[in-house]
Chain A
Amino acid sequence: MAVRSNIVGIDSPEALEKALRAAYYLADEGLATAAYLGLALGKPLLLEGAPGVGKTEAAKAIAAVLGRQLIRLQCYEGIDASAALYEWNYPRQMLAIRQAGDDSIDIYGETFLIERPMLAALRAPDSTVLLIDEIDRADQEFEAFLLEFLSDFQISIPERGTVRAAERPVVVLTSNRTRDLHEALRRRCVYHWIDYPTAEREARIIMMRASSVAEATARAVVAAVEKLRREPLSKAPGIAEAVDWAEAATLLNKGGARWPDAFKRSIGVALKDEEDLHFVAPRLDAMLAEATA
C-alpha cells in the first residue's frame, strides 16, 4: 500500500503520536492509529465523542503536524451549499451587467465567485486541512450532499462546471453524536470514538496546556472532574474546562485562598450550567476534600 505523499516523514502511528505531541496534543494509541490510517489511506477521519474531549483540537493538531492551514466549516441546522461551497457576489455581478452596456460579459467568472470552505479545500488540497465541525448539527439533506463530496471530492457549479481535487484533501469530521449519523457517512471515513482521557493523560494535558499549574493541582482537578463526569449533568466538564479550572484555582491560591476553597470558588469555570451547579452543591465539599486529599 503506497503511503500518501501528505504524510512524508511520518511512517507509523507512533511517529504521528510523537509529532502530535510536539504540536501540544496528547493522542492515545487509538486516535493516533485512526489518524494515521486516515492520512495514509486518503480517507476522511470521523471523530465522535462527548463535547469537550478534544475532537476539534485533534484536527487543529493534525493541521499543525502537516504544516497546513486549517479551514473550518462549522455546521449548523439549515446549513446549505451556499454556506459550504460557494456563493456568487450578486451586487458585483449586477454592477458589472449595468456597466457592460452592450459589451458581452461573463458574470460567472472567477472574480464574482466567493469561495466557501469546501471549495477552498478542493482547490488547494496540498496546503489545507478541511475540518467539518459538528456534522451532527446539520440536517440530513446536508449530510447527503456531503456524502457526494466525500466520495468523489468534486463539486459541480452549474454555471462553471465541475471542480475536482487533483489529490484527495485531508478532511476531518467531528460529531457530538446528538443524532445518529448516516451509515454511509461512517462507511466512507476512518472512524474513532474519542473517550475522556485516562487520569494520567489528562493530568499531563493540563500541565502541558497550563504551565503555571503544579502537578498536585492538576491531579486534584482530574480527580474532581472524573467524579463530576459520573454525575448526571447536562454539561459535563470537558478537557478545556479541566485546564481552565486548574489555572483558575492556581490563580486564586496564589492570591491567598487555601486549597479546597480555591477549587470551590473557581468551580464556575468547570461547571457552566446553573442547574448542574445547584445539583452538585450539596456534595461538592466532600468531593473536593477527597480530590485534594
Chain B
Amino acid sequence: MSTELQLPRAARIFISFVALLRANGFAVAPEQTTAFLAAIELLGPRDLRDIRQSALATLAPPPERRATFDRLFDLHFRGGEAIEHADDGEDDETVRLQEEGRGDEEPLLSDEANESGLTATRTEALVERRFAQLSTSDPLRRLAREAPRRLPRRRGHRRMRARRGPFADLRRTLRDSVRSDGEILRLGHLKRRQRPRKILLLIDVSGSMKSRTEENMKLAHVLVQAAPNAEVFTFGTRLTRVTRALRLKRREQALSAAAHLVSDWDGGTRIGDALQAFLAVPRFGGYARGAAVVIVSDGLERGELDALRDAVAKLSWRAWRLSWLTPLATGPGFRPQTEALVAIERFVDDLVDGGSSASIVAHVLALGRRAA
C-alpha cells in the first residue's frame, strides 16, 4: 500500500538539496527543512540569492563548513560550471588550522551521495596513519578509573542543597516554615557546586614523537571519555582539533576517525606557529582560559623560537596551570637542553617526564591535588 505523500514538483529540488547536505555530513533536522520551504515561499523567491539566503538562515551550516555549503549549493542549483576550485597549494611552512567536520573535502555529488555518506575523498594527499589494535594498558585503565574523582575541580556558580553552606536556602526554608505556621525551625543551606575544571591536551604528532604518538592518542581517548570537558588538539605542521572524533565511545572507531582528520602525522614540528594559530581563534583560545593545559611534546622546534616563547607565555597567562610533558625529562634533576625548552621553561608550571603513559597519567591525575 503506498500512502507516500506527493510533494509539489517545485519543492523537490529544495528537498533534494537537503538530502545532498545530509549526505555530506550536515545535520539538518526535518523542522529545518520545513522552515526552509516556508522561507522560500515567503520570499517569493525572486532570484537565486533569496534561495541561498533562505538556506543559510534556516539550515544553519556551521561557519567553518560554509565554503563546502556554498559549493554544494552551487552544484545543486547552478550546475557544475559555476564551481571554481580554490587553488589549495600545500605549503609546509605555514601552519594550517583544521576543524573537524571535513571542511576541506570535496563535496559528494548527489549520485554518489546515496551510496556511502561516510566515505569522502580527500583533496590533500598527506600521510594517513593507521593505529594497530592493542589492548588497554594498565596506566590507561588507571586513568579511566580514577579520572572522574581525581581530575582538578573548581567551585562553580550554581548552588546546590547542603547540610551546611555559606548561603541560606530561602525557598526551602519558607516552604518548610509554612507547615509550622511560619515558624522557622530549620534553616536550609546552599553551597556552590564543584565543577570539573577544563582540561586542554595538546599532543605533538611530529616525526620525533613518532614512537609515542599512538600511545598518546589512546590516552587522549581515555581522557575525553572520562572527562566531559576535555579538549584535545594535535599539532606538528598543522593544528587539528580532534575532540569530537575522540568522543566516539569505541576506541578503534575514535582513533581511526582522529587518524583521518590529522594529516601531519610524523612530519616536522612548528610548535610556536601551531600554538599561535590556536590562540588566534577566539573559540580555541577560550578552551585554555582557566584550564589545566597539558602539552605533550619533546620541544624539538623547527620554527622560530620567538613565536614559540610568545605563544607559550600567552597560554600560561590564560591557563590555570600549564604543564609541559617531554620524553626528554627523565629524572627529577632534569635540566632542559634544547633551545626551545630553555626558552619556554620560565612560563610553564611543570616541566616533567612525558616519555611513558604511566608518567603522563600520574601527572594528569596529580593535577587535582595542587592548590588552585
Chain A contacts to B: CB under 8 angstroms: 1, 3, 12-13, 29-30, 33-34, 37-38, 40-41, 43, 46, 48, 50-51, 76-80, 88, 90, 93-94, 97-98, 100, 107, 139, 141, 176-179, 183, 186-193, 232-234, 275, 279
Contacts and interface: CB of A to CB of B under 8 A. Distances in A.
A101 to B, nearest CB: 9
Given A183-B27, A187-B60, A76 B53 contact: no
A80 B167 CA distance: 16
Interface stretch (B217-225, B274-282, B295-303, B355-363): B274-282
Contacts of A141: 158
Interface string B153-188: 000111000000000001100100110011000000
Counting from the closest, the 10 A-B pairs by CB-CB distance are A78-B157, A191-B60, A232-B280, A97-B182, A33-B53, A34-B57, A90-B170, A178-B286, A187-B29, A78-B158
Identify whether the interface residues of B are mostly helix, strand, loop, or mixed.
helix
Contacts of B182: 94, 97-98, 100
B58 A191 contact: yes
Contacts of B310: 279
A231 B286 CA distance: 17
Interface of B: 27, 29, 31-32, 35, 38-39, 41-43, 49-50, 53-54, 56-58, 60, 63, 66, 156-158, 170-171, 174, 177-178, 181-182, 276-277, 279-280, 282-283, 285-286, 310, 314, 317
A24 to B, nearest CB: 23
Contacts of B279: 232, 234
Contacts of A179: 283, 286
A279 B276 CA distance: 12
A50 B280 CA distance: 12
B56 A97 contact: no
Nearest to B311: A232
Contacts of B181: 97
A107 B283 contact: no
A78 to B, nearest CB: 2
Given A33-B53, A33-B57, A37-B42, 12 more contacts: A41-B35, A41-B42, A46-B60, A76-B157, A88-B174, A97-B181, A97-B182, A177-B282, A187-B60, A191-B57, A192-B56, A275-B317
Contacts of A176: 282
Given A13-B53, A33-B43, A94-B174, A50 B29 contact: no
A279 to B, nearest CB: 8
10 contacts: A3-B42, A30-B56, A30-B57, A34-B56, A41-B38, A46-B60, A51-B282, A192-B56, A232-B277, A233-B280
A177 B62 CA distance: 11
Nearest to B58: A190
A1 B157 contact: no
Contacts of B174: 88, 90, 93-94, 107
Contacts of B277: 232
Contacts of B276: 232
B54 A77 contact: no
B56 to A, nearest CB: 6
A76 B35 CA distance: 30
B63 A1 contact: no
Nearest to B289: A178
A37 B57 contact: yes
Contacts of A98: 182
B158 A193 contact: no
Nearest to A233: B280
A39 to B, nearest CB: 10
A234 to B, nearest CB: 7
A177 B287 CA distance: 11
A193 B56 CA distance: 9
B27 to A, nearest CB: 6
A134 B49 CA distance: 29
A275 B60 contact: no
Nearest to B310: A279
A178 B282 contact: yes
A99 to B, nearest CB: 9
B150 to A, nearest CB: 22
A104 B51 CA distance: 62
Contact of B177 (A40, A94, A191, A193): A94
Contacts of A37: 35, 39, 42-43, 54, 57-58
B283 A187 contact: no
B41 A1 contact: yes
A76 B156 CA distance: 11
A29 B49 contact: yes
Contacts of B317: 275
A13 B283 contact: no
A187 B31 contact: yes
A45 B42 CA distance: 16
A1 B42 contact: yes
A293 B56 CA distance: 38
B311 to A, nearest CB: 9
A176 B281 CA distance: 12
A204 B53 CA distance: 23
